[in-house]
Chain A
Amino acid sequence: MTMGSFEVSGLSKQFGTGPPVLKDVSFRYEGSGAIGYLGPNGAGKTTTLKLLVGLLRPSQGHAFLNGVEATANRKHALWDVGAVIETPEPYPTLNVLEALDVVGRARGLTHDEIDREVDRCHSLLDLPPLGQRIGWLSKGQRQRVSLAASLMGDPPVLLLDEPTSGLDPAERVLVRRMLNGLKRDHLILMSSHQMFEVAEVCDQVIFLHRGQVLLQDRVDRVAERIRSRQVDVEFERPVPVTAMSRLGELAAEVVAVSERRWRILFDGTDSTRVQLLRICQELGPVSQFANSSLLLEEAYLELIPKVPEDS
């Protein structure tokens, strides 16, 4: 399979005279793997994906798929790309097979190859009956058909906007498992609100806020960055709040997780960590003193408020 790539360079988008939705965003990925594209509603995630596939035109900058700009040559740029953006709706009058058939034929598959691809997608996504009309499908079933359409012809680049949106928990597990397999030889850009999903599937993450990239790094490094500034301490017996106030000079914040368990935020230096441990041992027998098991979500929440309102 050919290696895919996508790139945005100095990408900005503004609708009319409104504020910019995307401001000078740049990133480039090639090869295989999964990149999580995270941000709150209105951050510009879907706008970026639309700019990549040419559904929108950039106000400034460029967006490339496999080295080609979709606005300049849509056919060439989208040839090796599967995309699920917003809520795709095949014509409700068509059945599942017909909806997938048109995608397969548009991507240059023969009749037999389409049959094989539909079988593959069926096994991956547990598609609804192929003869069933799209208009009669549930939201989750339609989403799985859209995901199957993006996989038809096995394009090396997949752009997925909230791919598990509208799916039930079992279907989400199915899709996450599929993406974890596909990322080995596909390049996937996946926007999501589900942090645990991104943490489970993605190797890299891009945090977007108010149209700007806040952070772009490996998922494990992002978590580690936050983790190093937070420790969880567990005492063998309950410690009163007043006693814990002794940590105030060293800690930025002390939060009670339970009667015996506390989370301490500090400057991340080793000397402070040692001092914190010493004080905790004075307060009572310590059964555990370790970096807290933070999720990506906490990194995300910590990053977002750091951007001033007027930026």
Chain B
Amino acid sequence: MMVDAINTESTTSPDSLVARGVSRHRTSDFEHWRIVTAHQLGHYLRTNRFYGLLGFVSLVSALTLASEINAGVTAVQVQQLFKSSEYLSNFLVYTGLWVVLAAAFFGGDALSVDFSTGAGYYMLVLPIRRPVLLAGRYAAASLVTLAIVGTSYAFATAGAIYFFGAPSIPWNLLAGSLGLAVMFSLAALSVAFCVSAFIRTPAAGVLITVLALYVGFTTLQSVVELAGIEPWFSLTYAGGAMAAILDTDFVHIQTIPLGEDQYYTIWVATVLEGLEIMAAYVAVFLPLSAYLYQRKESTG
């Protein structure tokens, strides 16, 4: 092998080229995580997709609330069985969809962007471990997803206060539901990041995440329920716990007669079951994403 020592004696560059007094400190992985999180968050908060989704969720929530106000307090109270918890449960029925959309928008291309655009040539040559890079982006995606979900919860809470009064609101259950929404967001983002680590094209990653989380899981859940099996493996099934925790007439298993000796059984995840499923998704898909991301090559 040829070894060349070009110039091992230090020489002096022109003044303008010398970085005088630059003293760099070894940056810990935690510091890198914070840097990446802030960098990614700064990016997300300026994207059209963030404002588009936030606007859409706000619009749907505002229209729902406006139509209820238009119907009148009495009508809503009768419809919601005079319980603010039922009102909240009904209002938050779309939370799962918002989470899926946010997970797809902010997680579906979070990693593939490094291998399909020049973004990777900027970030992946920095002295940051890839799992740390992933963790920072995951944290940023979680925060913007929570901003979307939080908006829906804010409208729901405002409506509950308007129709039922603040004292009637089960704050502990509402907090529990929000906690489950956080967990559901983390689980959905884990799946989205995994898709993103696997798929090369960002748009395909977003689309596959929506199809997998919303269409795929929902369809599969219906099919296995028809076969009389509890869909314990489904993330959307686990997501049902977000609304179920607020449901005072919660029923875990409901059997609906279809005809002679024919029944259709519907399962609704309990809070504990929902939490376990969501945690399992995070535990499986997040490390898998990190593994795939670590192994992925910039072949473009």
Other-chain residue from B10, B31, B42, B125 in contact with A1 (beta carbon distance below 8 A): B10
* Interface residue B126 (Cβ < 8 Å from any Cβ of A): yes
Q: Say yes or no: A35 contacts B13, CB within 8 Å.
A: no
B32 at the interface (CB under 8 A from A): yes
Known contacts A89-B122, A94-B42, A185-B11; A203 and B35 CB within 8 A of each other: no
Q: Which of A83, A91, A153 has the most CB of B within 10 A?
A: A91
Q: Is the CB of A32 within 8 A of B7?
A: yes
Contact mask B1-27 → A, CB, 8 Å, 1/0?
Answer: 111111111111110111111111111
Q: How far is the CB of B51 from chain A (nearest CB, A)?
A: 12
Q: Does B219 contact A (CB under 8 A)?
A: no
**Contact yes or no, B127 A86, CB < 8 A:** no
User: Which residues of the other chain, A, contact B16 by a CB distance below 8 angstroms?
Assistant: 120, 123-124, 181
Interface residue from A94, A106, A187 paired with B127 (Cβ < 8 Å): A106
B1 touches which of A28, A32, A33, A108 (Cβ 8 Å): A28
Report if A276 contacts B (CB, 8 A): no
Asked if A117 meets B19 with Cβ closer than 8 Å, knowing A35-B6, A57-B297, A108-B25, the reply is yes
Q: Is B252 an interface residue (CB 8 A)?
A: no
Cβ of B119 within 8 Å of any chain A Cβ, yes or no, is yes
Report yes or no: A27 in contact with B21, Cβ–Cβ below 8 A.
no
Residue in contact with A184 in the complex, picked from B8, B12, B32, B126, CB distance below 8 Å: B12
- Are A78 and B125 in touch, CB under 8 angstroms? yes
Closest B residue to A98 by beta carbon equals: B42
Q: Mark B41-78, 1 if CB is under 8 A from A, else 0.
A: 01100110000000000000000000000000000000
Number of A residues near B (Cβ < 8 Å) is: 67
Nearest Cβ on chain A to B105's Cβ, whole angstroms:
14
B150 within 8 A of A: no
The reply on B299 being an interface residue by CB < 8 A is yes
Contact of B17 among A76, A93, A124, A146 (CB under 8 A): A124
Residue of A nearest to B130 (CB): A74
Select which of B6, B10, B22, B117 is within 8 A of A203 by beta carbon.
Answer: B6
A31 touches B8 (CB 8 A): yes
Chain A, 108-157, CB within 8 A of any chain B CB? 108-110, 113, 116-117, 120, 123-124, 146, 149, 151, 153-154
Q: A109 to B128, Cβ gap below 8 A?
A: no
Which of A48-56, A191-199, A278-286 faces chain B? A48-56
Cβ contact within 8 Å between B39 and A102: yes
Residue among B11, B12, B46, B122 with max Cβ neighbours from chain A (10 Å): B122
| Pair A79/B127 contact, Cβ less than 8 Å | yes
B127 and A78 form a contact (CB under 8 A): yes
Chain B residue at minimum C-beta to C-beta distance from A50: B298
**How many residues of B sit at the interface, in one of the four size bands?**
35 or more
> Would you call A267 an interface residue if the criterion is a C-beta within 8 Å of the partner chain's C-beta atoms?
no
Q: Is B176's CB within 8 Å of the partner chain A?
A: no
State whether A88 and B127 are in contact (beta carbons under 8 Å apart), knowing that A29-B4, A32-B6 are contacts in the complex.
Answer: no
Partner of B119, one of A30, A74, A91: A91
CB <8 Å contact, A28 and B19 = no
Q: B47 is contacted by which of A56, A87, A93, A154 (Cβ under 8 Å)?
A: A93
Which chain A residues in 163-207 approach chain B with CB under 8 Å? 178, 181-182, 184-185, 187, 203-204
CB of A90 closer than 8 Å to a CB of B: yes
Residue contact B128 to A75, C-beta cutoff 8 Å: yes
| Distance between Cα atoms of A198 and B43 in the complex (Å) | 37
A188's nearest neighbour on chain B, judged by CB, is B6
* Chain B residues within 8 Å of A89, by CB: 117-119, 121-122
Within 8 A of B (CB), among A67-111: 74-79, 81, 83-91, 93-94, 98-99, 102-103, 105-110
What is the interface of chain B, defined by CB distance below 8 A to chain A?
1-14, 16-27, 29, 31-32, 35-36, 39, 42-43, 46-47, 117-122, 124-130, 295, 297-300
Residues of chain A whose beta carbon lies under 8 Å from any beta carbon of chain B = 1, 3, 9, 15, 26-33, 35, 50, 53-57, 74-79, 81, 83-91, 93-94, 98-99, 102-103, 105-110, 113, 116-117, 120, 123-124, 146, 149, 151, 153-154, 178, 181-182, 184-185, 187, 203-204, 216
Given A87-B118, A94-B43; 19 other pairs, CB 8 A cutoff? A28-B3, A31-B7, A32-B7, A75-B29, A78-B127, A84-B121, A88-B118, A88-B121, A89-B122, A105-B35, A108-B25, A109-B22, A116-B20, A123-B16, A124-B16, A124-B17, A178-B17, A181-B16, A216-B4
Give me 30 A-to-B residue pairs in the complex whose CB atoms sit less than 8 angstroms apart, sorted by A's number.
A3-B8, A15-B299, A28-B2, A28-B4, A29-B6, A30-B8, A31-B5, A31-B6, A32-B8, A33-B7, A53-B124, A55-B125, A56-B297, A57-B295, A74-B127, A74-B130, A75-B127, A79-B127, A81-B125, A88-B121, A89-B118, A99-B122, A102-B35, A102-B39, A105-B31, A105-B35, A108-B25, A108-B26, A124-B16, A151-B19
